[in-house]
Structure 1
Amino acid sequence: MDDNRFYADYLIETPLDPSQVAEVMAGEQSCGTFVRVQGETEQLRERARAVVVSVEEIDSVATPSLPNAWQQRQNMQGPWRRARVRISFPIDNVGANLPTLAATVAGNLFDLGEVTGMRLLSLSLPEHYRRRFDMPRHGVAGTRKLTGQSSASQAPLLGTIIKPNVGLSAVQTGELVTQLCEAGVDFIKDDEVCANPVHAPLEERVREVMRRVRAYQDKSGRRVMVAFNITDELDAMRRHADLVEREGGSCIMVGLNWCGFSALQSLRRSSGLAIHGHRNGFGMMSRQPALGMSFSAYQSLWRLSGVDHLHVHGLDGKFSEFNDEVVQSARDCLTPMAPGDEVMPVFSSGQWAGTVPATFAAVNSTDVIFLSGGGILAHPDGAAAGVASLRQAWEAARDGVSLQERARRSPELQHALDFFGPRLK
């Protein structure tokens, strides 16, 4: 890898020669356009043009994946050829400018007339370039420290989401948080659609919740991390982050796709709190296999904004993703782009004790936040038993013991298997 360049990998679909289309892509996203223009000298092109590194043709399809008026006007016919393309870009074209980096590797590429499919697969940045952007302030080790765990801990952070999603008052939310703290969770988060509603204004909710979290910590010595959803315009997010910090909180949650890179960078630089990155809306970028971007590319860009946690959904969950996608997403989060910049993957969506063994086997790490709603709150013996069943399942997975064997001496786990197992088949 050339230390003066960064690399992007794509999947394209086109009725044209994929190598020709790759050259169009390189020109479009650097110094070129559809014709050579005045001032585009060979010296300038040598310095600033993106370069096609490789083109690997995969297969072809009889019908295009996406509509294309440009191709219709030219009466283009198939087959539509698919290929993987790698392009390198000069770092000096972009500098440490995250929105422009995103515009360079994506941007107008998705609108090119030459393609009926365009997907950003991955990004590769030299370490020195990655370090010009924000690193996680806390990341894996810092998150553990904020929750009172050592960096050598072999336990995941177990948590849940405030439910009902919306509708509870600030006092009712505080009462639920007390119950969850008493049940033994490490982590509690707001739902992504509950930020600053009229029935529970964020300022009231933060004060009420943190009063109860502090009381629980004084009594038990345990720290519980609460991720308050402060998603809003930037000035409001800064104010709310300051409030959380004054009240003794340690974490804020942001809906990444709706706030944008610049807001996250500014928030990261103005707040000492852990940033819990929620990816809601990512499905519109990823569900069509020939369009958008993979989570690998998505998480690479968002990690440059300095987030500490990223959602990856969960195995056998309620959403559309396949398990191998979820697993790869978690692995990507835990793979350093530069030493020390790993972020904690957040598993959620229909998770319970029964999904733990496959999760641990696939990721081979307990450096995760494992969120379970029904798996805790709907446990037949109560929330504390739900949390206990999760801990027992993670201990069994880590020790190489089956859930059934561990359940023989763990009634909470046995009751979880008996209760949830038949319902989730």
Structure 2
Amino acid sequence: MLNYINLKYKPQKTDLICEFYLEPNNTTIEKAASHVALESSIGTWTDIGTMNKRIAKTLKPSVFYINKKKNIIKIAYNANLFEKGNMPQILSSIAGNIFGMSALNNLRLLDISFPESIIKSFKGPGFGINGIRKIIGIRKRPLTGTIIKPKLGLNEKEHAKVAYDAWTGGLDIVKDDENLTSMKFNRFNKRVIETLKMRNKAEKETGETKIYMPNVTAETNEMLKRARFVKSCGGRYVMIDIITMGWAALQTLRNADLGLVIHAHRAGHAAFTRNEKHGISMLVIAKIARLIGADQLHIGAIVGKMTGTKHEVKDIGEDIEKQIIHKKSSHILEQKWYNIKPTFAVCSG
């Protein structure tokens, strides 16, 4: 087996860096770390005759940091291990089979630092914070919004009336709930028409720009069809459930360049972010969402039913809104975002 431990290795600017928390299963942390490195790159469960020095020299990752007290490791990967602009492939490597290995009791991907080559292979948000504020005409204060309730059951006109009341009551934004798509009692196209009609009425009465975020979550082709319909009706925003739809769907929507602000809902994230010892952190999810192209993203709230810790919510907000992230703890890797616009952090719950 190749040796993946190299504590003298100095990560290159071209490397993709991952930080993991791990708990070994009847083995040392060094051996467990090696298993993570090999399985997420060029290795497999046994020695193979087709492995050669060229592959090992050019593509073998290095475990360059091990903290035995905190069970934290850092791995530097050659960027050539990953297809540029292909997040499913990247995650199939660094967040794939490694979670099911017998050498580990627990494994959690805490953070990722993407190199310039990978950063620039994605479009990132089409509008970003400044673009969103320009659309709405609000430069400084927080944007305020609400979700239509009950989340399911209202017909199209009832839904539109609730939105109208929210807008004329002073709110900037109204959005669909994450599980409202096109139901028997509330069809997508009719809901969009009725709600945008009431948006126009509210704008005329208040003299303010009002935003409606219709949920276009659906099979990918249907998602695009619905997004184009929103655009044709004069909509400015769409919402998508990024976890249940998947990263490729978010990228498809972003690459369509429809001129719509993309609001990302994170329904389902806690299935792999909530366990502090296993899975993937919300910080990683947020960074990926920004990289692919979410203009806005739910990051949780310090209080309420969908809470996160104060430090977690703050760190996520900073990482998706700033252009340069400086290393400040064992759980925050440095990140330069280059051409990628910031994602507007949304606190809710």
Fold conserved between structures, TM > 0.5:
yes
| Mapped pair 1:332 → 2:319 | yes
Could you tell me whether the CA contact under 8 Å between 2:14 and 2:117 is conserved in 1? no
Alignment of 1:84-163 (within 5 A): 84-96=72-84, 97-149=86-138, 153-163=139-149
Tell me the alpha carbon deviations over residues 127-173 of structure 1, each in whole angstroms, 9 at most, x when there is no partner: 34212112100111111112123xxx220111111111111110011
| Mapped pair 1:176 → 2:162 | yes
Matching residue of 1:421: none
C-alpha separation in 2, matches of 1:21 and 1:119: 13
Alignment of 1:8-407 (within 5 A): 8-14=18-24, 15-58=26-69, 83-96=71-84, 97-149=86-138, 153-270=139-256, 271-336=258-323, 337-339=336-338, 340-349=340-349
Secondary structure at the aligned position of 2:214 is classed as strand
Could you tell me whether the CA contact under 8 Å between 2:16 and 2:77 is conserved in 1? yes
Percent of counterpart pairs with the same letter? 27
Structure 1: unaligned runs, 5 residues or longer? 60-82, 350-425
Matching residue of 1:382: none
Matching residue of 2:4: none
Tell me the alpha carbon deviations over residues 57-110 of structure 1, each in whole angstroms, 9 at most, x when there is no partner: 125xxxxxxxxxxxxxxxxxxxxxxx1111111111112111111111110110
Could you tell me whether the CA contact under 8 Å between 1:117 and 1:291 is conserved in 2? yes
Secondary structure at the aligned position of 1:116 is classed as strand
Could you tell me whether the CA contact under 8 Å between 1:245 and 1:273 is conserved in 2? yes
Letter in 1 for 2:210: V
Matching residue of 1:3: 13
Secondary structure at the aligned position of 2:267 is classed as coil
Letter in 2 for 1:93: L
Letter in 1 for 2:178: E
Could you tell me whether the CA contact under 8 Å between 2:127 and 2:341 is conserved in 1? no
Secondary structure at the aligned position of 1:58 is classed as coil
Q: Give, in angstroms, the shift of residue 304 of structure 1.
A: 2.2
Q: TM-score, normalising length from structure 1?
A: 0.73
Rg: which structure is higher? 1
Stretch of structure 1 that moved more, 260-269 or 27-36: 27-36
Matching residue of 1:397: none
Could you tell me whether the CA contact under 8 Å between 2:301 and 2:307 is conserved in 1? no
* Larger helix proportion of the pair: 1
C-alpha separation in 2, matches of 1:279 and 1:6: 24
Could you tell me whether the CA contact under 8 Å between 1:310 and 1:343 is conserved in 2? yes
Could you tell me whether the CA contact under 8 Å between 2:168 and 2:206 is conserved in 1? no
Q: TM-score, normalising length from structure 2?
A: 0.89
Stretch of structure 1 that moved more, 1-10 or 317-326: 317-326
Q: Give, in angstroms, the shift of residue 320 of structure 1.
A: 5.0
Cα RMSD for the two superposed structures: 1.5
Stretch of structure 1 that moved more, 334-343 or 306-315: 334-343
C-alpha separation in 2, matches of 1:207 and 1:198: 16
Q: Give, in angstroms, the shift of residue 233 of structure 1.
A: 0.5
Could you tell me whether the CA contact under 8 Å between 2:108 and 2:277 is conserved in 1? yes
